[in-house]
Amino acid sequence: MSNAATEKLNDFNADLHIHTVLSPCADLEMSPVNIIREAQRKGLDIIAITDHNASAHCKVTGEIGKEAGIFVIYGIEVTTSEETHCLTYFESLEKLAEFQEIIDNTILKIKNKPKRFGYQVIVDKNENILGDIDWLLLSAVKLSLDEVTEKAHNLGGIVIPAHIDRSMFSLTSQLGFVPPDLQADAYEVSKFSTPEEMISKYPYLRNKTFIRTSDSHYLKDIGSVSTVLRIKSRSFEEIKMAISNTCERKVIINR
Amino acid sequence: MKVTDILNWENTSLACGKNSIENQITNGYNSDLLSDVMGNASEGMAWITIQTHKNLVAVASLKDLACIIIANNNKPAHDLLDAAEEEGIPVITTSLPAFEFAGKLYNELNK
């Protein structure tokens, strides 16, 4: 019997794509404390915070999550130079900060007009506003999807192109199809599609890992679709193993 | 020239924003990448694209563009039209491919 088989694996309910109030397009109710409360209410064990090109709410959400028994993964939804959205996840706040610096140095810095695009505020755990981000977070970075993937991987990160089925900001809308040679760790489908549908269009994706997430911009959407992670315990390393489908760990899409 | 001059061309029609069709067109810009338009288009330009989603309006409004032209028979999304109406940005649809429309506009502007 292998080591892996002797270890007891558990199923954890995960929603790996949630925006906070920092994303201009997210609802003002999406504060870290509200997100954790809603995740608890929806029975989620693991969530990921993935604001557009920003990560200022990862730490505080992680702290609140810890108290509430919810494991929070630190993430950023990057807008690549092709204007595809790409989810990136990191193990520690240090790695996250290093990656954020790359984003900040390469994003097109255009001043946000909050009235047009929405507010980009940073709040604390009591929802006090600490500040805001001046440049528009929806802008693209000057790095291609391949370059973003490489830089995130260099920091031990996980790379998952977002909502590949959607008609905007996706691989299919921006590149015409899902490139077969991407170095992505998995692919995300939205609640409007399924892995089967994507595989029928792109048969070379049949052995890839898929996740399905809510891409929540409103509290009510959190956990509206989720993905089960079959892992030993809730850690970044275990989640990475599930995504790479190693040592019996795996990702199971809820139907 | 004005937005309303374009509406006299064949193969074009106004999808919304009729209160702003007197907007002056200073120049044109042809791109489907929003960040490119945000970085390089300037006030008064007519923006030719094949994109059809709502975010176009935010970009056009941010850059004070004269109008959005959706080329090649692409149909604007309903929420784009609602947003454009609210922001007062004319949206014109055309059956011409972007290249042909841009050529025609270029010639008109440089007459």
Q: What gap in Å lies between CA A3 and CA A16, rounded to an integer?
A: 28
B15-65 residue pLDDT tens: 999 999 999 999 999 999 998 998 899 999 999 999 998 889 989 998 999
pLDDT at A180: 86
The mean predicted confidence, pLDDT, of chain B is 95
What pLDDT, on the 0 to 100 scale, is given for residue A3? 53
What confidence tens digit (pLDDT) does each residue in B81-97 have? 999 999 999 999 999 99
Inter-chain Cβ pairs, chain A and chain B, closer than 8 A = 32
Residues 132-151 in A contacting B (C-alpha not used; CB under 8 Å): 136, 138-140
∠ CA A89-A163-A246 to the nearest 5 degrees?
50
**Interface touch B35/A139, C-beta < 8 Å:** yes
Whether residue A247 is predicted with pLDDT greater than 60 in this model: the reply is yes
Q: Which of A164-168, A217-221, B71-75 has the lowest mean pLDDT?
A: A164-168
* Alpha helix segments (H runs only) across A27-117: 32-41, 58-68, 93-106, 114-117
- Distance in Å, alpha carbon of A116 to nearest chain B alpha carbon: 6
CB contact under 8 A, A139 and B53: no
Separation between Cα atoms, residue A176 and residue A183, nearest integer Å: 18
Q: How far is CA B7 from the centre of its chain?
A: 11
Rounded (10°) CA dihedral A125, A188, A88, A230: 80
What whole-number distance in Å separates Cα of residue A218 and Cα of residue A21?
Answer: 9
Taking only the tens place, the pLDDT of each residue in A153-183 is 999 999 999 999 998 899 988 888 888 889 9
Residues of A with Cβ-Cβ distance to B35 under 8 angstroms: 79, 81, 83, 108, 139-140
Nearest to B35 among A108, A116, A117 (CB): A108
pLDDT at A222 over 50: yes
Delineate the domains of chain B, giving CATH numbers in brackets. 3-109 (3.40.1390.20)
Q: Give Cβ neighbours of residue B106 (< 8 Å, ≥ 6 apart).
A: B28
Other C-beta atoms lying within 10 Å of the C-beta of residue A7: 13
Res. A1: pLDDT tops 50: no
**What mean pLDDT is predicted for residues A32-55?**
98
What is the structure's pLDDT at A175? 86
Q: CA A193 to CA A182: how far, in whole Å? A: 21
pLDDT(A48) > 60: yes
Q: Taking 70 as the threshold, does the pLDDT of residue A197 lie above it?
A: yes
Domains of chain A as residue ranges with CATH = 3-253 (3.20.20.140)
At A29-38, the pLDDT tens digits run 999 999 999 9
CA distance A169 to chain B (A): 10
In this prediction, what percent of chain B has a pLDDT beyond 70? Answer: 100
Whether pLDDT at A5 is above 70: no
Cα of A39 to nearest chain B Cα, Å: 29
A43 falls in which pLDDT band (50, 70, 90)? very high
Q: Name the pLDDT band for A124 (thresholds 50, 70, 90).
A: very high
